[in-house]
């Protein structure tokens, strides 16, 4: 079978899966929303896709970002001022913004696999959109931007916190359709990472590495779920490194790339670290990879994420001691905060319609948040894992001057091997990140499976 034939067959398989699974997905969203509306005292829900935002003192707009509460209903990601209207027991309505315009090309009416589950009505502007909605919206909750004309729509509530909490809490559990989208996003991201690693090995700059990533994914930068973190050498010590240097450094040591892709509104979030050549740092990356996979292997429904995060610190302490980066044992390193010098961020977060998806701290849909462990203020997830959650698992070690200087100035100074740190500082740091779907008895590693899959099949570009 040729690459073209294989690509078409794979496209057909994915299309069939999306066609089959979207209807049950939407039924789940309708049932979940109906329960939330009843609990919060609303008769219906109106969700806005978002509006274009104008640049200050200009008529240009920023790239459009669709709201996540809208994307859970439909994979439309590039059309502003659309609305989904839902009343329990009735078919969802999609008011689709399609202006008469010759400056910009209006979006075509969608005809993809999901459209047969909606009544779709085109609207030229917000006034036309309002005319397509029920006359009385007084018992309807609205979620989205409070645009100026909304005051005249007389909705019952705008972004009511109680209702939004109910909806965000349920979003953590993914449907089979959502998992299918996230598998495809993972494969697109894996393609980008393979191309980026190749570009690094060939001497590319950070900017050129990003271009290789984008080309392999088949996406524009504004279509990604977040701006890629592409850090050469000591740039890897900046957790959210935002530069894209256009010239490669004279000496190249390492690449830390944190970059994901998006499919049908769902994100992947993948990090890999590469050494230019074998040796000490390459061995440290391999050891971190082993540690990361051991953390993934322990995940299943019923596990408290806070325990996994604390286990990551214990394992990090062991790794640091084995690598002769610290002088104390793992228990002492954890107890005295030495591990937090090298691993200052949380182990991971919920993933889905947003990169840092909503609901990470919620105890119940009705109220109450689960606290972070003491001394770990940056952890983004504290819930007990449930079947259908998708989480990132991203341990790391970094050589961050600010944190090292603080440790040098307090009682932790004697616990760190400073000459060893100095020899590793030029590499910046290491992070290994996979996206993992939780099952009753274990987990599905979307990222590792994606890297295996992209080695076996040709590039595949599908529309949502």
Locate the domains of the chain by residue range: 23-171, 176-454
Mean pLDDT over residues 425-450, rounded?
98
Q: Can you give the length of the chain in residues?
A: 464
Residue 1, pLDDT > 80, answer no
Please answer whether residues 60 and 52 qualify as being in contact, where contact means their C-beta atoms are separated by less than 8 angstroms: no
CB atoms under 10 Å from CB of 99, counted, come to: 14
Mean pLDDT over residues 436-445, rounded?
97
Query: For residue 30, which of 85, 86, 70 has the smallest C-alpha distance?
Result: 86
Q: Which residues contact 256 (CB under 8 A, 6 or more apart)?
A: 229, 230, 231, 235, 236, 241, 271, 272, 273, 274, 428, 429, 430, 431
Residue 5, pLDDT > 50, answer no
Q: Where are the alpha helices (DSSP H) in 300-434?
A: 305-322, 330-335, 338-342, 401-408, 418-424
CATH assignment of 176-454, given 3.30.450.30, 3.40.50.300, 3.20.20.480, 3.90.230.10? Answer: 3.90.230.10
Please answer whether residues 436 and 443 qualify as being in contact, where contact means their C-beta atoms are separated by less than 8 angstroms: yes
121 vs 24: CA distance, rounded Å: 23
246 vs 74: CA distance, rounded Å: 38
When mean pLDDT is compared across 104-113, 216-225, 385-394, the lowest value belongs to 104-113
Mean pLDDT over residues 77-92, rounded?
97
69 vs 99: CA distance, rounded Å: 23
206 vs 231: CA distance, rounded Å: 7
pLDDT in tens, 307-336: 999 999 999 999 999 999 999 999 999 999
Mean pLDDT over residues 141-156, rounded?
96
Please answer whether residues 94 and 120 qualify as being in contact, where contact means their C-beta atoms are separated by less than 8 angstroms: yes
Per-residue tokens: 291: 């540690």
Residue 214, pLDDT > 60, answer yes
pLDDT in tens, 372-399: 999 999 999 999 999 999 999 999 999 9
Mean pLDDT over residues 228-241, rounded?
98
Mean pLDDT over residues 25-42, rounded?
98
For residue 13, name the pLDDT band (cuts at 50, 70, 90).
confident
Percent of the chain with pLDDT over 90: 93
Percent of the chain with pLDDT over 70: 96
Q: What is the DSSP pairing of strand 229-232 with strand 254-259?
A: antiparallel
pLDDT in the model for residue 144: 97
DSSP letter at 418?
Answer: H
CB atoms under 10 Å from CB of 13, counted, come to: 10
397 vs 241: CA distance, rounded Å: 15
pLDDT in the model for residue 324: 98
What mean pLDDT, rounded, does the chain reach?
A: 95
pLDDT in tens, 242-288: 999 999 999 999 999 999 999 999 999 999 999 999 999 999 999 99
462 vs 464: CA distance, rounded Å: 7
Residue 6, pLDDT > 90, answer no
pLDDT in the model for residue 103: 87
Residue 4, pLDDT > 60, answer no
Strand, coil or helix: 326: strand
CA dist list (Å): 264 to 80, 213, 444? 16, 19, 20
Angle at 454 between CA 255 and CA 68, to 5 degrees: 80
> Burial code of 396-407, b = ≥16 C-beta within 10 A, e = fewer?
bbbbbeebbeeb
5 vs 8: CA distance, rounded Å: 5
pLDDT in the model for residue 458: 56
Whether 23-171 and 176-454 share one fold: the answer is no
Residue 461, pLDDT > 80, answer no
More confident residue, 387 or 2: 387
463 vs 115: CA distance, rounded Å: 14
Burial of 371 (0-12, 13-18, 19+ CB in 10 A): exposed
Please answer whether residues 191 and 459 qualify as being in contact, where contact means their C-beta atoms are separated by less than 8 angstroms: yes
pTM of the model: 0.94
Q: What is the DSSP pairing of strand 140-143 with strand 44-48?
A: parallel
Kindly report the CATH number that applies to the domain delimited by 23-171: 3.40.350.10
Strand, coil or helix: 413: helix
Task: Report residue 214 CA to chain centroid gap.
Answer: 17
pLDDT in the model for residue 3: 43
pLDDT in the model for residue 316: 98
Residue that has been written with the tokens 């645009």 in this structure:
147
For residue 10, name the pLDDT band (cuts at 50, 70, 90).
low
For residue 12, name the pLDDT band (cuts at 50, 70, 90).
confident
């Amino acid at each position: 079978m040729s690459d073209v034939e294989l690509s078409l067959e794979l496209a057909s398989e994915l299309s069939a899966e999306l066609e089959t699974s979207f209807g049950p997905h939407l039924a789940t969203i309708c049932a979940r929303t109906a329960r939330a509306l009843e609990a919060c005292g609303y008769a219906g829900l109106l969700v806005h896709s978002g509006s274009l935002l104008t640049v200050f003192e200009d008529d240009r707009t920023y790239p459009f970002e669709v709201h996540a509460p809208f994307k859970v209903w439909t994979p439309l990601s590039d059309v502003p001022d659309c609305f989904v209207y839902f009343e329990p027991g009735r078919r969802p309505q999609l008011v689709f913004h399609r202006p008469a315009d010759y400056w910009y090309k209006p979006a075509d009416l969608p005809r993809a696999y999901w459209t047969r589950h909606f009544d779709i009505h085109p609207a030229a502007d917000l006034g036309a959109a309002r005319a397509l909605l029920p006359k009385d919206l007084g018992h309807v909750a609205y979620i989205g931007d409070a645009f100026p004309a909304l005051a005249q729509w007389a909705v019952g509530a705008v972004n009511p916190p109680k209702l939004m909490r109910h909806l965000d809490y349920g979003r953590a559990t993914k449907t089979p359709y959502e998992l299918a989208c996230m598998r495809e996003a993972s494969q697109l991201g894996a393609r980008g990472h393979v191309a980026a690693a190749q570009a690094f090995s060939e001497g590319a700059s950070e900017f050129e590495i990003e271009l290789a990533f984008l080309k392999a994914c088949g996406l524009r930068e504004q279509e990604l779920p977040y701006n890629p973190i592409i850090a050469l050498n000591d740039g890897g010590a900046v957790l959210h490194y935002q530069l894209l240097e256009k010239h490669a450094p004279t000496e190249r040591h390492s690449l830390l790339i944190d970059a994901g892709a998006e499919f049908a509104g769902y994100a992947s979030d993948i990090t890999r670290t590469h050494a230019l050549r074998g040796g000490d740092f390459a061995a440290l990356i391999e050891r971190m990879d082993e540690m990361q996979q051991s953390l993934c292997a322990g995940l299943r429904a019923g596990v408290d994420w806070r325990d996994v995060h604390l286990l990551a610190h214990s394992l990090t302490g062991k790794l640091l001691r084995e690598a002769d980066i610290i002088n104390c044992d793992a228990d002492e390193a954890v107890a005295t905060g030495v591990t937090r010098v090298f691993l200052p961020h949380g182990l991971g977060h919920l993933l889905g319609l947003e990169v840092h998806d909503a609901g990470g701290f919620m105890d119940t849909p009705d109220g109450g948040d689960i606290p972070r462990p003491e001394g770990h203020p940056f952890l983004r997830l504290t819930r007990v894992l449930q079947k259908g959650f998708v989480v990132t698992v991203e341990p790391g070690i970094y050589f961050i001057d600010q944190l090292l200087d603080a440790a040098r100035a307090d009682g932790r100074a004697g616990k760190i091997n400073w000459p060893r740190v100095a020899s590793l500082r030029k590499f910046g740091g290491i992070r290994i990140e996979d996206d993992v779907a939780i099952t009753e008895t274990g987990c599905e590693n979307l990222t590792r499976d994606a890297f295996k899959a992209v080695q076996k099949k040709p590039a595949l570009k599908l529309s949502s």
